[in-house]
Structure 1
Amino acid sequence: MKCQQCQKRPATVHYTHVINGKKTNIHVCEVCAKDSGYMTYPEEGFSLHDLLTGLFHLDTPKVDYQGHPFQQIEELRCPSCAMTFAEFKRIGKFGCIDCYHTFSNRLDPIFSRVHSGNTRHLGKIPKRKGGHLHLKKQLADYREQLATLIENEAFEKAAIVRDNIKELEQKIRSKEAGDNDEL
């Protein structure tokens, strides 16, 4: 479909006007849309950061989790690179590793929205190259589960998990011994 105004470029902007109950469809190119005032945004367009900021409403919280006013967080500066949270929101990148610690009370809500409710990123291990890393990760999960069960005094379930841990440790030892034989 060609632009209704210049008849030269393809129409990429589509508007529907309803005036006094009368519906009018307008199909114009981006240049004509800017000239006619249908589009009013910066020349450089929108960045991915602008999109994510809008999607995740980074500007909406007025207090952090501890109830501190938003104003105090805006003025908070990273001790290493002197970046403020306002600069982070504008740029979309941290200045250094210490920014994560400095602004940590503001990051969990962002990570939660970005990672479907998860605030902890554990990463992934390729199945072919992971070797026994999958088993070690599962072992760590079992140990964490065992500690929780013991704390809750669920000793019968804890015994089952303990046996699973022993079994996994044996598998890991046998895999490591097999890997050493190949060298």
Structure 2
Amino acid sequence: MECQECQQRPATLRYTQVINGDKTEVYVCDVCAKEKGYMTYPEEGYSLHQLLSGLFSPPIDNQQHTPKQQKNELQCPKCEMTLSKFKKLGKFGCSQCYQTFEEYLDPMFRRVHSGNTAHHGKIPARKGGDMRIKKQMNAYKEELQRLIKNEAFEDAATVRDKINALKKEMGGDDA
């Protein structure tokens, strides 16, 4: 189909407008769509960060910030990165930014990471069996030392039995 505005290029955009129940469709090329204001987008396109932050962030008020509001905005003392600049770029300016913007990070992480704010690592299923057992055994050994230090010998005996059970599960006593 040909562009309805210039009749020179193929139409790549269908613009549909409904006003009071009257539906109007216009087929235009990219150039005409830009010129006529049917489509607006940044010249450099959208970055992956802009796409994801648009999907995961709550709607933003389009209120204009007054100069007074911008002066009071949270800013990193080391690199002078502002909170709004961080939200726009999706990157920190320095290591001090983590402490400066700390209270704003948890809600962002929760939105992006399905409610989680801490990374606990991931162990592949096919290789993870022994690794998980060793990790659990190390945790039990630390707990055993703590219990012995606190002279909770009955609880320590229970933890020792758990360690021995894990050793048998691994198939030996060499852990």
Shorter-chain TM-score bucket reads: 0.5 to 0.7
| d(CA) in 2 for partners of 1:43, 1:33 | 14
TM-score with structure 1 setting the length: 0.61
Instruction: Note if contact 1:58-1:89 (Cα within 8 Å) is conserved in structure 2.
Output: no
Instruction: Note if contact 2:167-2:174 (Cα within 8 Å) is conserved in structure 1.
Output: no
Within 5 A, what are the aligned runs for 1:5-154?
5=5, 6=7, 8-11=9-12, 13-57=13-57, 60=60, 74-79=73-78, 81-130=79-128, 132-138=130-136
Q: Helix, strand or coil: the match of 2:24?
A: strand
CA shift in 2, pair 1:129/1:176, >3 Å: farther
TM-score with structure 2 setting the length: 0.63
| d(CA) in 1 for partners of 2:137, 2:164 | 9
Q: Deviations over 1:110-151 (max 9, x none)?
A: 0000011111111212234557322244557889xx9xxxxx
Q: Deviations over 1:157-179 (max 9, x none)?
A: x99x94555523555694866xx
Q: Helix, strand or coil: the match of 1:17?
A: strand
Q: Helix, strand or coil: the match of 2:117?
A: coil
| d(CA) in 2 for partners of 1:92, 1:19 | 38
| d(CA) in 1 for partners of 2:30, 2:173 | 61
Instruction: Note if contact 2:81-2:97 (Cα within 8 Å) is conserved in structure 1.
Output: yes
| d(CA) in 2 for partners of 1:73, 1:130 | 49
Q: Deviations over 1:82-135 (max 9, x none)?
A: 433222112111123332233221101000000111111112122345573222
Q: Deviations over 1:3-59 (max 9, x none)?
A: 443452351x33211234321222323222101111223222222222233223368
Q: Helix, strand or coil: the match of 1:74?
A: coil
Residue of structure 1 in register with 2:147 after alignment: none
| d(CA) in 1 for partners of 2:48, 2:118 | 23
Q: CA RMSD in A?
A: 3.9
- Greater C-alpha radius of gyration: 2
Q: Which amino acid aligns with 2:54?
A: G
Consecutive unaligned residues of structure 2, counting only runs of 5 or more, are: 62-68, 144-154
Q: Which amino acid aligns with 2:82?
A: T
CA shift in 2, pair 1:7/1:119, >3 Å: same
Q: Helix, strand or coil: the match of 2:73?
A: helix
| d(CA) in 2 for partners of 1:78, 1:165 | 49
Q: Which amino acid aligns with 1:27?
A: Y
The number of residues matched between the two structures is: 153
| d(CA) in 1 for partners of 2:137, 2:27 | 60
